[in-house]
Structure 1
Amino acid sequence: MQSLSKRLIGQNYEALAQKYLIRHGLTPVAMNFSAKCGEIDLIMKDSHCIVFIEVKYRKNDQFGSAAEMVTPSKAKKLIKTAQFWLSKHGLSFYDTEFRFDVLAIEDNGSNINWIKNAITQG
């Protein structure tokens, strides 16, 4: 029961994040893309750039901010999953304009921090 409610909370904040990004000019492409290597919360376009977005929510920053929750391990999974998504859509990891953003949501959605280029491949 606990994991179901956590999942519903996550979906609620991912929908909030998508609405926020649409208001800021991005276009939705996919939501909750899953592969064996990981999951990407949102995939959107910012003009010609494909944006892979990790949404993080925390009630408060007692155990760290939402943005700090994207660990190096999570970043590696996001990069691998993005490579898979690009190849599945006939796009090259080397010839396609893309970036990784983090949308950190805190205080029940009243505090949204959009971090562009939060993850770099390397």
Structure 2
Amino acid sequence: MKPVTSRDKGEQAEQLACHYLQTQGLRLAQRNYHCRLGEIDLIMEDRESLVFIEVRCRRKGRFGNAIDSITPAKQARLIAAAQHYLQRTGRTQNKPCRFDVVGITPEKGVNNITWLRDAFRVES
């Protein structure tokens, strides 16, 4: 039996987050968008908004929860990757965008999901 890797856990967390957000009415546009500037876990549509979503899975502990792990450097990479996506796909017209974070904290066999809408903004 193959051991479960960090990558496997990350994919499971992204799948769980995607399913949860779909039950909340969001529609999946793309998973795991990669470019040289960074990666976006999920890109979804929420009514008229395009939503770039970072998924974090972390056990509670001395290093904080999953959402606390989104550093300013990570935010900058997400913003750069989102700008690349918008330019590449031509989806820049008339569609507001936002950045959400989904934190998953496994506890005693249950995955606690925290969805932080509009978690951070692009500085103009």
What TM-score do you get using the length of structure 1 for normalisation?
Answer: 0.91
1:56-110, Cα deviation, whole Å (9 max, x unpaired): 0112233111000000000000000000000111132x74311000001102552
Contact 2:33 2:41 in 1 (8 A): yes
Paired residue secondary structure (1:76): helix
User: Could you say which structure has the higher helix fraction?
Assistant: 1
| Worse-matched range after superposition: 50-59 or 102-111 | 102-111
* Cα distance in structure 2, aligned partners of 1:47 and 1:91: 15
Equivalent position of 1:36 in the other structure: 36
Moved over 3 A (4+): none
Q: Which residue is 1:23 aligned to? A: 23
Aligned equivalent of 1:5: 5
The unaligned stretches of length 5 or more in structure 2 are none
Distance 1:119 1:34 in 2: 20
SS of alignment partner, residue 103 of structure 2: strand
1:110 corresponds to 2:111? yes
SS in 1 for 2:90: coil
Distance in 2, matches of 1:80 and 1:61, equals 30
Equivalent residue letter for 1:87: Q
Number of aligned residue pairs: 120
Secondary structure in 1 aligned to 2:13?
Answer: helix
| 1:5-32 deviation line (CA, Å, top 9, x unaligned) | 1001100000000000000000000001
Whole-angstrom distance in 1 between the partners of 2:119 and 2:30: 19
Further displaced range: 56-65 or 7-16? 56-65
Identity between Structure 1 and Structure 2 (%): 38
Alpha-carbon contact 2:43-2:50 (below 8 Å) kept: yes
Measure, in 2, the Cα distance between the counterparts of 1:41 and 1:86: 15
**Is the CA contact (8 Å cut-off) linking 2:59 and 2:65 kept in structure 1?**
no
Counterpart residue number, 1:98:
97
Whole-Å separation in 1 of the counterparts to 2:61 and 2:50: 30
Q: State the partner residue of 1:73.
A: 73
Look up the SS of the partner of 1:96 in the other structure: coil
**Corresponding residue SS for 1:110:** strand
Mapped to 1, the partners of 2:51 and 2:61 lie a distance apart of 26
The residue aligned with 1:119 is: 120
